[in-house]
A and B are shown apart, each in its own frame.
Chain A
Amino acid sequence: MAAHAHTVKRYPGFLGWLWDWLTTVDHKKIGILYLVAGGFFFVIGGIEALFIRLQLIRPLNNFVSEDTFNELITMHGTTMIFLAAMPIIFALMNAIVPLQIGARDVAFPFVNALGFWTFFFGGLLLNIAWLTGEVPDAGWTSYPPLATTAYSSHHGMDYYVLGLQISGIGTLLGGINFMATIINMRAPGMTFMRMPMFTWTSFITSALIVLAFPALTVGLVAMMFDRIFGANFFNVDAGGNIILWEHIFWLFGHPEVYILILPAFGVISEVISTFSRKRLFGYSTMVFATILIAFLGFMVWAHHMFTTGLGPVANALFSIATMAIAVPTGIKVFNWLFTMWGGSIRFTAANLFAIGFIPTFVMGGVTGVMLASAPADFQYHDSYFVVGHFHYTIVGGLVTGLLAGIHYWWPKMFGRMLHEGLGKLTFWFYMIGFHLTFFVQHFLGLLGMPRRVATFLPNQGLDTMNMVSTIGALLMAVGISFFFINIVITSLKPRHATNDPWEDGRTLEWAIPSPAPEYNFKQIPLVRGLDAWWKEKLEGNKEMPPAEPLGPIHMPSPSILPFIMGVGLFISGFGFMYNLVFAVIGIAITLLCMALRSIFDDHGYHIEPDEPKKGEVAA
Chain B
Amino acid sequence: MNRWHAGKKLALALMFGLIPLLAACGRADLSALNPQGPVAQRQFDVLVVAVGIMTLVVVVVFALLIYVLVRFRRRRGDNSIPEQVEGNHKLEIIWTVIPIILLIILAVPTVGAIGKFAEDYWDDPNAVQVKVTAYQYWWEFEYPQYGITTAQELVVPIGKKIAFELVAGDVKHSFWIPAIGGKMDNNPGLTNRFYLEFPTPGVYRGKCAELCGPSHAYMDFKAKAVDQASFDRWVAAMQGPAVLPEDDNIREAFVSKCLTCHAVGDQGSPIGPNLTGLGSRVTVAGILFNDTPEQEYVIDPAKTEENIKLWLEDTQAVKPGNMMPSAGDLQLTREQIDGIAKYLANYQLDYE
Contacts and interface: CB of A to CB of B under 8 A. Distances in A.
User: Direct contact between A and B in the complex (CB less than 8 angstroms)?
Assistant: yes
Interface stretch (A65-73, A223-231, A398-406, A547-555): A65-73
B211 A143 contact: yes
A308 interface: yes
A355 B6 contact: yes
B43 A355 contact: no
Q: Per DSSP, are chain A's interface residues mostly helix, strand or loop, or mixed?
A: helix
B212 A447 contact: no
Given A369-B103, A379-B183, A342 B72 contact: yes
Given A283-B86, A447-B32, 11 more contacts: A243-B187, A285-B87, A307-B174, A342-B85, A369-B54, A376-B43, A379-B40, A379-B43, A460-B205, A461-B26, A464-B23
Interface stretch (B74-82, B228-236, B297-305): B74-82
Contact of B54 (A282, A333, A358, A370): A370
A517 interface: no
A346 B74 contact: yes
Interface of A: 65-67, 69-70, 137-139, 143, 145-146, 151, 236, 241-243, 276-279, 281-285, 307-309, 311-312, 315-316, 319-320, 323-324, 326-327, 330-331, 333-335, 337-338, 340-347, 352, 355-356, 358-359, 362-363, 366-367, 369-370, 373-379, 381-383, 431-432, 435-436, 439-440, 443, 446-448, 450-457, 460-461, 464-465, 468, 538
Contacts of A454: 214, 216-217
B188 A145 contact: yes
Interface in B159-185: 170-172, 174, 176, 178-179, 181-185
Given A342-B85, A450-B209, A145 B61 contact: no
Contact of A448 (B17, B31, B110): B31
A372 to B, nearest CB: 8
A283 B85 CA distance: 10
B5 interface: yes
Interface in B52-79: 53-54, 57-58, 61-62, 64-65, 68-69, 72-74, 78
Given A312-B115, A345-B72, A465-B20, A359 B51 contact: no
A366 B5 contact: no
A376 B185 contact: no
Interface stretch (B94-102, B255-263, B306-314, B328-336): B94-102
Nearest to A367: B54
Contact of B68 (A139, A341, A382): A341
Contacts of B174: 307, 381-382
Contacts of A312: 114-115, 117-118
B20 A337 contact: no
9 closest residue pairs by CB, A with B = A378-B182, A375-B113, A236-B189, A453-B217, A312-B118, A366-B54, A66-B214, A282-B87, A309-B192
A146 B171 contact: yes
Contacts of A375: 42-43, 46, 110, 113-114, 116-117, 182
A65 B68 CA distance: 49
Residue among B20, B42, B174 with most chain A CB within 10 A: B20
A382 B58 contact: no
B209 A382 contact: yes
Given A151-B170, A319-B111, A345-B69, A447 B217 contact: no
Nearest to B30: A448
A471 to B, nearest CB: 10
A378 B72 contact: no
Given A138-B211, A316-B114, A66 B320 contact: yes
Contacts of A285: 87, 92
Contacts of B40: 379
Interface in B1-47: 2, 5-6, 9-10, 12-13, 16-17, 19-21, 23-24, 26-27, 30-33, 40, 42-43, 46-47
Contacts of B74: 344-346
Interface in B191-223: 192, 205, 207-217, 220
Given A145-B172, A276-B72, A378-B182, A457 B54 contact: no
A432 B12 contact: yes
A244 B74 CA distance: 55
Given A308-B187, A439-B16, A341 B72 contact: yes
Contact of B85 (A241, A279, A443): A279
A340 B103 contact: no
A352 B179 CA distance: 41
Nearest to B207: A450
Nearest to A329: B99
Contact of B110 (A373, A460, A461): A373
A378 B183 contact: yes
Contacts of A338: 85, 88, 91
Given A311-B118, A333-B61, A374-B110, A379 B182 contact: yes
Contacts of A337: 61, 64-65, 68
25 contacts: A66-B215, A145-B170, A277-B82, A279-B85, A279-B86, A282-B88, A307-B184, A312-B117, A312-B118, A316-B110, A326-B103, A334-B91, A335-B87, A347-B73, A374-B110, A379-B32, A379-B178, A383-B209, A439-B17, A439-B20, A443-B21, A446-B178, A453-B217, A454-B216, A468-B20
B113 A366 contact: no
A572 B205 CA distance: 48
A146 B211 contact: yes
B95 A334 contact: yes
Contacts of B184: 307, 309, 378
B172 A242 contact: yes
A481 B9 CA distance: 21
Contacts of A448: 26-27, 30-32, 178-179, 205, 207
Contacts of A455: 217
Contacts of A377: 182
A451 B176 CA distance: 12
Contact of A278 (B20, B84, B118): B84
B237 interface: no
Contact of A340 (B62, B72, B320): B72
A341 to B, nearest CB: 5
A307 B27 contact: no
B247 interface: no
Contacts of B53: 369
B107 interface: yes
B24 A456 contact: no
A435 B16 contact: yes
Given A369-B54, A373-B46, A327 B114 contact: no
B190 to A, nearest CB: 7
Contacts of A370: 47, 50-51, 54
B24 A443 contact: yes
A440 B20 contact: yes
Contacts of A319: 107, 110-111, 114
B214 to A, nearest CB: 4
Contact of B31 (A241, A316, A447): A447
Nearest to A441: B20
- Name the residue among A151, A383, A443, A448 with the largest chain B CB count within 10 angstroms: A448
A137 B171 CA distance: 14
Contacts of A333: 61
Given A345-B72, A362-B61, A457 B210 contact: no
B287 interface: yes
